[in-house]
Amino acid sequence: MTEQTDAPTTDETVEPATGRRLRLSVIGTGYLGATHAAAMAELGFDVVGVDVDPAKVAALSAGEVPFYEPGLPELLVRGVDSGRLRFTTDLAEAAAFADVHFVCVGTPQRPGSNGADLRYVEAAFEGLAQHLTHDALLVGKSTVPVGTGARLAARVREIAPAGLRVELAWNPEFLREGKAVQDTLTPDRVVVGGASEWGDDLLRQVYARAVADGTPFIATDLPTAELVKVSANAFLATKISFINAISQVCDKAGADVTVLADALGHDVRIGRQFLNAGLGFGGGCLPKDIRALMHRAGELGADSLVDLMQDVDEINMWQRQRVIDMAVQACGGSVLNRRIGVLGAAFKPDTDDVRDSPALNVAAGLHLRGAQVVVFDPKAGDTGKRIFPSLTYGASTEEAVTGADVVLVLTEWPEFRTADPSALLELTKPGATVIDARNCLPVDAWREAGWTYRGLGAAR
Ligand code: UGA
């Protein structure tokens, strides 16, 4: 391992005790870890990122981000070129190198259960603890069920070499895919649970820039920090399911849910964000986090939350069925051998992530009912193909809509919102219907161009 001394140091990156830059490790280099590692190097720290996947480590070491995240490639290249950021598959190397270790590995839903699969988190903490050679702060950033941190802290104490100061804290992450760089460099809050005075000092040093810019630093206990994270996602999910339930009433009553949401949003107690009715939430976080919360709340006997999350999940999943039903209806009762153009595969715009994507779920549902489905997504075609290879993927919006009886807009990419409806209608079968499942198109322009327009809870 070479000593890295060429990069400029700033006061906030230098450890007062040793006079050298604070060294950080980031375990797990997915959306969260890769972004955190690159952002920490950008702030001036020496960082090593660790992943079990050698292909990912090779790509990141070469300055290539193995997924689509705006702004991250530039940040990664700057970090690698500066000599402050490198990647390895060797956890022992990271344990020997860093003072503060951030665990950013995935906590997916356990197969056959609503609970979270904690095996990667446990392996990361246990592996680090085994290999430590000097005092270290182990920081969990992964989203975990409440109670995990306390259990891991006890385990780490058992395993870590005697005589070292080894502590654990939880520092949940609130970044959004598509905005990960901005959210990591300028978070809207820093939450730290379970840190001693020593751990608190180290983390205040890590987040010194944000704190100096006025970002609230909330120091609390482990369970509160763990619960802040899952409650935030549960609240966002609840907001989305609430507006989707209202959109169903709007459909029945002839009201317009978008105008309604705008009007609600003017009330600062409510706010306009996360009130876009449509196909509902997906992705690698919200769905599995509300299920893990449901599961954990059940274990703890907090039954009201179990019921609430169950309803939120059901409303959300029902939106997918609602859009499938709309497509069936637009095809006159059956989609068998009908051509359906699907615009969007990613779970939201500005990402190529298709984990639990509502768009792909609907596309696959129609395909299974015998429709000829052609999907186009500006970034998520390849990732979509990997999990749903049986669908046909077009190379453009035009290719997806050509010959279509019905066109479905399932992810609100800007290029779909700004597409020319007249030009597209020339490519479809005569009298085609567009189902705007994200309520994102300029309705009047599409109607004037001759489309039969259907939105969700869109009276117009
Ligand atoms: C979410 C949270 O927003 C982050 O704060 C959190 O850090 C992250 O999960 C995580 O736990 O790691 P993300 O999964 O990137 O972030 O996606 P969101 O922007 O929250 O969108 C989630 C889903 O909700 C998308 O499918 C989106 O289309 C849908 N959505 C969002 C709506 O249907 N309506 C809305 O009004 C807003």
Same CATH topology for 10-220 and 232-455: the answer is: yes
**Which residue's CA lies nearest to atom 17 of ligand 1?**
176
Which of 176, 353, 417 to mutate for ligand 1's pocket (most ligand atoms within 8 Å of CB)?
Answer: 176
Which of 143, 226, 281, 357 to mutate for ligand 1's pocket (most ligand atoms within 8 Å of CB)?
Answer: 281
Q: Count Cβ atoms within 10 A of the Cβ of residue 84 and give its class: 0-12 exposed, 13-18 middle, 19 or more buried.
A: buried
- CA-CA distances (angstroms) from residue 154 to 149, 171, 196, 361? 9, 18, 15, 41
Q: Is 174 in the pocket of ligand 1 (CB under 6 A)?
A: yes
Domain 10-220: CATH superfamily is NAD(P)-binding Rossmann-like Domain (3.40.50.720)
Q: For residue 434, what pLDDT is reported?
A: 98
Q: Which mean pLDDT values do the consecutive 10-residue runs of the chain (460 residues) have?
A: 42 71 96 97 97 98 96 98 98 97 96 96 98 97 98 97 97 96 97 98 97 98 98 98 97 96 98 98 97 97 97 98 98 97 98 97 98 98 96 98 98 98 97 97 96 88
Q: For residue 21, what pLDDT is reported?
A: 86
Q: For residue 17, what pLDDT is reported?
A: 67
Q: For residue 11, what pLDDT is reported?
A: 59
**Which residue's CA lies nearest to atom 7 of ligand 1?**
174
Q: What is the DSSP string of 316-367?
A: HHHHHHHHHHHHHHHTTS--TT-EEEEE--SSSTT----TT-HHHHHHHHHH
Q: Is 411 in the pocket of ligand 1 (CB under 6 A)?
A: no
Domain 232-455: CATH superfamily is NAD(P)-binding Rossmann-like Domain (3.40.50.720)
pTM: 0.95
Q: Is 177 in the pocket of ligand 1 (CB under 6 A)?
A: yes
In single-letter form, the type of residue at position 283 comes to: G
Q: For residue 20, what pLDDT is reported?
A: 77
Domains in the chain: boundaries: 10-220, 232-455
CA distance 144 to 39: 23
**Which residue's CA lies nearest to atom 37 of ligand 1?**
274
Q: For residue 460, what pLDDT is reported?
A: 55
User: What backbone torsions phi and psi does residue 145 show, to the nearest 5 degrees?
Assistant: -65, 145
In single-letter form, the type of residue at position 388 comes to: F
Q: For residue 458, what pLDDT is reported?
A: 85
342 DSSP β-pair partners: 375, 408
